[in-house]
Amino acid sequence: MDRNTFTGLFLIMVILGAAVFFMKPSDADIKKEKERITADSLKKVGANQTVTPTATAASNALAKQDTTISTGPFGANLNGTEATSVLENQLLKLTFTNIGGKIKSVEVKDVKTYAGAPVVLFNGNNNKFGLNLNIDGKIVNTNNLYFTSTKNGNSMSMRANYSADKYIEFVYDLKDASNNVGFNVNLNGLNGVVQGNTVSINWETTLLQQEKSAAKEQEHAAPYYKYSEQNPDHLGIGKDEKVDLTEGKIEWFSFKQHFFSAVLIPQVPFEKGNLESKVSTEQGKVKWYGANMQLPFNQLASQSYAMKFYFGTNKFSTLKDQGQDIEKQVDMGYWPLKYINRWIVLPVFNFLESFNWGYGLIILVLTILLKLAMSPLTYKSYISMAKMRILKPEMDEIKAKVGDDNPTLLQQEYLKLYKKVGVNPLGGCLPMLLQLPFVMAFFFFFPNLFELRGESFLWMKDLSTYDDFIKFGFTIPFIGDHLSLMCVLMTISTLIYTYFNNQISGATGQMKYIGYIMPIIFLGVLNSYPSGLNYYYFLANMLTFAQQYLIRMMVNDEKIHAILQENKAKPQSEKKKSKFQARLDDYMRTQQQAKIQSKKK
């Protein structure tokens, strides 16, 4: 292009630009033209029908909706303004939002957090709930749609239209004085629109802190689930975890925290799904849970899914009323501890609770009843330890003769003495081992007992958590940032019990000092455990003192010594062998044969 051509084209562009700018109509001209077009349109319509402002608005809205729908699935429901509504009864207050047509927050009435605020299980943007639908190859999550809500008494209907006769509807029904919320999903006319043979329910929420210690609350929080014809199971407690649930149909799943749960129970079990849990590090939050569950979808007809929510406490009896083993998410311990707690301890506790006593008194009476039931074993253990104590002088004589150079021979001589006097050296340990499962069962029972939550006794404001009688203001390794007075009293009583137990058994050497180490370890372990648990262990120690004092008043050491000497003097043929003595004879014969074989070599 030469210079003259370029100059000509440039001048033409300048002229065209100036013409457009100066010949542009004014705002007044544009307004007049719009009014003229509207008047002409109304005249044309008036020849056929009368047009009202309402009809015009409706027509414009429908035209807008049709245009939006044509741009994508549920296009008319992608924008809007949030609106909330409430359903409540004596036990629950549910706040709904039209965004996602879901329950925005759940407040459990008649209970408070440790700080005295209302118990809100989840709230706001921390809670996501909806269906994942495959439409035209794209996943549409109803959590992002704006629904139209209709309230009728204590029922709430949420609807999102795909078209005039095709829609998604969530129907919630809150019964009077109930922790259950009926939940029905209606997919009307969406067969042929939704692709595939399954739809997925997605639920994500963040647990809010309800108790005194978020760290302890995390130790008792986990998503639970139940396969058909199996016992409930759960994800890991102290770590992030995701589990695919593909081993069977899923009867229910729950977002469980320490003393409260949100459970979703379908009428027809979920086909499969996955659960995920993440430990939260944010203040005031415990854990994040996520669930995706699949439901079958029939392409030949409209679909409806009936379900129900449970929102409420983890009180064992309340969960049991829900059926389907939901109460088993209350941790009663491992086998056989859970059977002891469920079939012995819990029924006795519930019986005592029916008298409307304070829980401090109930724990006291429960401990007394347990000690009375175990008193035969305690008596037998005391007698066995007393026999060993009375034999100690003779054992010292044997040790002086044999010396410490040959421990095998020394042990053989001890066994001969036990055989002669008819003493089982394990007789004091076995009764204590039989009592140990009951002692350990309470280690799970009290920390998971909802009834103790918020109940005070003496200086302990809440028996379901620790009493920080002394607050350090800083953290001490192994102890923490506080010192529990009841835990200290429990530790002192255990040390005293160990001292008197050593006096009875005549323990010496390392065994004498091991008993003093364990209570110190328990001080660090139990310092952050519920004061109700430490109160029980303290009472158990004090009642054991009383039992041993009474037994000591009843038992005469001189009589026991005379019986042992009498047994020692009896011919071997007159002595009826016990199972222990039979095993003792076998052991001694084996040792003797081994000794002979070693000499031959």
Q: How far apart are CA 468 and CA 470, in angstroms?
A: 5
Do 302 and 191 share a domain, yes or no? yes
Do 410 and 295 share a domain, yes or no? no
Find the mean pLDDT for residues 197-217: 93
In a domain, 339, yes or no: no
Q: Which has more pLDDT, 24 or 279?
A: 279
Asked if pLDDT for residue 290 goes beyond 70, the answer is yes
Q: What confidence score (pLDDT) does residue 68 get?
A: 38
Do 461 and 525 share a domain, yes or no? yes
Do 365 and 305 share a domain, yes or no? no
Q: Number of structural domains, the chain?
A: 2
DSSP 343-363: IIIHHHHHHHHTTT--HHHHH
DSSP 145-167: SBPEEEEETTEEEEEEEEETTEE
- Report the chain's terminal Cα–Cα distance, integer Å: 119
Do 416 and 534 share a domain, yes or no? yes
Find the mean pLDDT for residues 164-192: 93
Q: Which has more pLDDT, 547 or 368?
A: 368
Q: How far apart are CA 287 and CA 239, in angstroms?
A: 10
Q: Where in the sequence is the domain holding 213, given as residue range(s)?
A: 81-330
Find the mean pLDDT for residues 517-529: 90
Q: What confidence score (pLDDT) does residue 527 get?
A: 94
**Identity at 48, one-letter amino acid code:** N
Considering 283, 303, 330, which residue would you say is the last residue of a domain? Answer: 330
Do 194 and 264 share a domain, yes or no? yes
Tokens of 155: 């029922």
Considering 283, 300, 330, which residue would you say is the last residue of a domain? Answer: 330
What tens digit of pLDDT does each residue of 457-493 get?
999 999 999 999 999 988 898 888 999 999 999 999 9
Q: How far apart are CA 601 and CA 599, in angstroms?
A: 5
The residues near 298 (Cβ < 8 Å, ≥ 6 apart) are 191, 197
Find the mean pLDDT for residues 299-328: 94
In a domain, 287, yes or no: yes
Tokens of 464: 């379901």
Q: How far apart are CA 342 and CA 511, in angstroms?
A: 35
Q: What confidence score (pLDDT) does residue 43 get?
A: 44
Do 255 and 290 share a domain, yes or no? yes
In a domain, 228, yes or no: yes
Count CB atoms within 10 A of the CB of residue 352. Answer: 18
What tens digit of pLDDT does each residue of 104-147 get?
999 999 999 999 999 999 988 889 999 999 988 888 999 999 99
In a domain, 524, yes or no: yes
Question: ω before 336 within 30° of 0 (cis)?
Answer: yes
In a domain, 171, yes or no: yes
Do 445 and 399 share a domain, yes or no? yes
Do 198 and 303 share a domain, yes or no? yes
Do 361 and 240 share a domain, yes or no? no
In a domain, 539, yes or no: yes
In a domain, 30, yes or no: no
Considering 330, 365, 395, which residue would you say is the last residue of a domain? Answer: 330
Do 322 and 356 share a domain, yes or no? no
Tokens of 122: 């989840």
The CATH number for 114's domain is 2.70.98.90
Do 363 and 325 share a domain, yes or no? no
In which band, very low, low, confident or very high, does the pLDDT at 60 lie, cut at 50, 70 and 90? very low
Percent of the chain having pLDDT more than 70? 81
Q: What confidence score (pLDDT) does residue 171 get?
A: 97
In a domain, 593, yes or no: no
